[in-house]
Amino acid sequence: MIKILTILGARPQFIKAGSVSREIAKHKVIEEVIVHTGQHYDANMSDIFFDEMQIPKPNYFLGIGGKSHGAMTGQMIEKIEEVAIKEKPDWIMVYGDTNSTLAGAIVASKLHIKLAHIEAGLRSFNMKMPEEVNRILTDRVSSILFCPTDVAVQNLKNEGYENFDCKIVKSGDVMQDGAIFYKNLAVKPNIAIKKDFILCTIHRAENTDDETRLKSIFEALEEIAKEKQVILPLHPRTKKILENLKLDISHLTIIDPVGYLEMVWLIDNCDFVMTDSGGLQKEAYFFEKQCITLRDETEWVELVECGANTLVGANKEKIMEAYKNHSIFNIQNSQLDLYGGGKASENIIKELLEY
Ligand code: UD1
Ligand code: UDP
At 336 the pLDDT is 63
At 326 the pLDDT is 81
Give a yes or no: residue 179 inside a domain: no
Give a yes or no: residue 191 inside a domain: no
For atom 13 of ligand 1, the residue with the nearest CA is: 10
> Can you give the residue range of the structural domain that contains 22?
2-173+340-354
Task: Please report which confidence band the pLDDT of residue 145 belongs to, taking 50, 70 and 90 as the band edges.
Answer: very high
Alpha-carbon torsion 179, 182, 183, 189, what sign?
A: negative
Distance CA 183, CA 268 (A): 8
Mutate to test the pocket of ligand 1, among 7, 11, 39 (most ligand atoms within 8 A of CB): 39
Do 276 and 304 lie in a common domain? yes
What is the 12 CA–ligand 1 centroid distance (Å)?
11
Q: Is 200's pLDDT higher than 90?
A: yes
Do 152 and 263 lie in a common domain? no
* Residue 11 Cβ < 6 Å to ligand 1: yes
Q: Is 124's pLDDT higher than 90?
A: yes
Do 247 and 128 lie in a common domain? no
Q: Identify which ligand lies nearest to the alpha carbon of 203.
A: 1
At 54 the pLDDT is 85
Let me know if 112 is a catalytic residue.
no
* Residue 131 Cβ < 6 Å to ligand 1: yes
Distance CA 319, CA 324 (A): 9
Rg of the Cα atoms in the chain: 20
Mutate to test the pocket of ligand 2, among 235, 262, 264, 277 (most ligand atoms within 8 A of CB): 277
Ligand 2 binding residues, C-beta < 6 A: 11-12, 15, 201, 203, 233, 257-258, 260, 263, 277-280, 283
Give a yes or no: residue 52 inside a domain: yes
Give a yes or no: residue 182 inside a domain: no
Give a yes or no: residue 155 inside a domain: yes
What is the 26 CA–ligand 1 centroid distance (Å)?
32
Do 139 and 256 lie in a common domain? no
What is the 264 CA–ligand 2 centroid distance (Å)?
10
Q: Is 346's pLDDT higher than 80?
A: yes
For atom 25 of ligand 1, the residue with the nearest CA is: 66
Atom of ligand 2 nearest to the CA of 276: 24
User: Which CATH number covers residue 305?
Assistant: 3.40.50.2000
Do 20 and 81 lie in a common domain? yes
Segment 38-49, tens digit of pLDDT? 999 999 999 999
Segment 239-263, tens digit of pLDDT? 999 999 989 999 999 999 999 999 9
The residue among 292, 278, 242, 346 whose CA lies nearest residue 10 is 278
Q: Is 334's pLDDT higher than 90?
A: no
Q: Are 62 and 35 in contact (CB under 8 A)?
A: yes
Mutate to test the pocket of ligand 2, among 8, 11, 309 (most ligand atoms within 8 A of CB): 11
Give a yes or no: residue 286 inside a domain: yes
What is the 212 CA–ligand 1 centroid distance (Å)?
21
The residue among 67, 204, 74, 189 whose CA lies nearest residue 128 is 204
Give a yes or no: residue 183 inside a domain: no
Distance CA 322, CA 192 (A): 26
Distance CA 12, CA 233 (A): 15
Do 344 and 291 lie in a common domain? no
Lowest mean pLDDT among 26-35, 50-59, 77-86: 50-59
pTM over 0.75, yes/no: yes
Question: What would the mean pLDDT of 288-298 be, rounded to a whole number?
Answer: 96
Do 30 and 164 lie in a common domain? yes
Q: What distance lies between CA 132 and its chain's CA centroid? A: 13
Task: Determine how many CB atoms are found less than 10 A away from the CB of residue 61.
Answer: 14
Q: Which residues of 303-316 are buried (b: 16+ CB within 10 A; e: fewer)?
A: bbeeebbbbbbbbb
What is the average pLDDT score of the chain? 96
What is the 246 CA–ligand 2 centroid distance (Å)?
26
Q: Is 347's pLDDT higher than 70?
A: yes
Do 257 and 131 lie in a common domain? no
Q: Identify which ligand lies nearest to the alpha carbon of 9.
A: 1
Do 321 and 350 lie in a common domain? no
Instruction: Give the rounded percent of residues in the chain with a pLDDT score beyond 90.
Output: 94
Do 149 and 203 lie in a common domain? no
At 141 the pLDDT is 98
Task: Please report which confidence band the pLDDT of residue 31 belongs to, taking 50, 70 and 90 as the band edges.
Answer: very high
Q: Identify which ligand lies nearest to the alpha carbon of 70.
A: 1
Q: Is 327's pLDDT higher than 80?
A: no
Count the domains in the chain.
Answer: 2
What is the 180 CA–ligand 1 centroid distance (Å)?
26
Do 201 and 298 lie in a common domain? yes
Question: What would the mean pLDDT of 210-234 be, rounded to a whole number?
Answer: 97
* Residue 98 Cβ < 6 Å to ligand 1: yes
Do 208 and 284 lie in a common domain? yes
